Amino acid sequence: MKIDLYINKANDYARDIGAPVYHPHVSVIHYDEVGEIRHTLNRINCYGIFLQREFPEGLTYGVGTYHEGDGSLMAYSPGQIGGKSDDGTCRQYHGWVLLFDNEFVQGSAIEPKLAGYHFFSYHSNEALILTPEEKGTLALLMAKLRHELELPPQSFAHDDIVRGYILLILDYCNRFYLRQFREMVAEGSDILSRFQQVLSDYYASGRHRAEGPPSVKYCAGELCLSPGYFGDIIRNALGESPKDYIRGFVVRRAKSMILSGKPIAQIADELGFEYPQHFTRMFKKTTCLTPRQFSDEQRKK
């Protein structure tokens, strides 16, 4: 894909669309006041929150395409890609954008919390779908933050207040993420059923012969979820990580093969392991028994 705009610093986007610049490391843009702007596919090398009434059709979000919807929020961390390729047309957007440089939050209360904000882990269907009340809360905070940025800095406390507003916005985003996440967990039985089907289909299709045992990344991709978001759902639903669940799935298949009398080397091959010792190591790590010890114990029963 061809990148139209590199947003290396928080204000690069504001300058590109003709929005005001208030702070060297923080940008708050009110789309309603900017007028029509052209589409751009952006490489974003700072942190960004895009709160919009609607998104353009065919919007790229990460490695997927986001289908436009009302009342949604998209979050970006440095290195991510989003937007729509410049096709020569312009459009009036509605909503708010917050961009801030990583260097502005280093050493602050925000920095250690960034890794825990999983809404920054994007995928095609993981934009936050906000209620009107949630959207109104964030819009109000964006307006208050911009008002603070418009004031002449009187002391170091000015930047502290700005960081405080950013932290508050991120914490609210996290609250809304967790609300959406809980709703996904409530529907987790369907996700678990599909997860099991993905694993079964993986072996039925023979992918394991070329790619080895199934990975968390592969399963998450098949379910249209990012690995982080997928992990959150599985841990909350099952009390174990997706990696542990996959390992258990493979071990259950292995046990059936062992009891059928197949040689260890053949079992390892049929499960996608390049070397039998790799299979034996995984089996023992999961069951505390080697495949041979498991076989001997079963014969004694």
Quote the tokens at residue 246. Answer: 């996959």
Q: Judge: domain 188-300, CATH 1.10.10.60.
A: yes
* pLDDT cut 70: percent of the chain above it: 88
Q: For the chain, which residues make up each domain, given as ranges? A: 5-186, 188-300
Closest CA to 39 of 111, 88, 95: 88
Residue 288 has pLDDT above 60, yes or no: yes
Q: State pLDDT tens for residues 254-280.
A: 998 998 889 999 999 999 999 999 999
Percent helix, strand and coil across the chain, each to the nearest 5: 55, 15, 30
Q: Is the pLDDT of residue 19 over 90?
A: yes
Q: Which residue has the higher pLDDT, 70 or 5?
A: 5
pLDDT score at 81: 84
Mean pLDDT, range 97-122, rounded to an integer: 90
- Report the side by side order of strands in the sheet with 95-100: 26-30, 95-100, 47-52, 72-76, 128-129
User: In the Cβ-directed half-sphere of 113, how many Cα atoms lie within 13 Å?
Assistant: 15
29 close to 14: Cβ distance less than 8 angstroms:
yes
The pLDDT value recorded for residue 56 is 64
Q: What is the pTM of this model?
A: 0.67
How far CA 267 is from CA of 60, 112, 284, 297, in Å, comes to 42, 45, 14, 18
pLDDT tens across 45-104, in order?
A: 999 999 987 776 666 655 444 444 555 888 898 988 888 888 888 889 999 999 999 999
pLDDT of residue 46: 96
**What pLDDT score was predicted for residue 63?**
43
- The CATH number, out of the four listed (2.60.120, 1.10.3210, 1.10.287, 2.40.50), of the domain defined by the range 5-186: 2.60.120
Selection from 158, 148, 50 nearest residue 94 by Cα: 50
Residue with token string 């204000």? 11
Highest mean pLDDT among 8-12, 49-53, 151-155, 188-192 belongs to 8-12
Confidence of residue 206 (pLDDT cuts 50, 70, 90): very high
Max avg pLDDT among 68-77, 156-165, 225-234: 156-165
Answer with the residue of higher pLDDT: 188 or 285.
285
pLDDT in tens, 289-300: 999 999 888 877
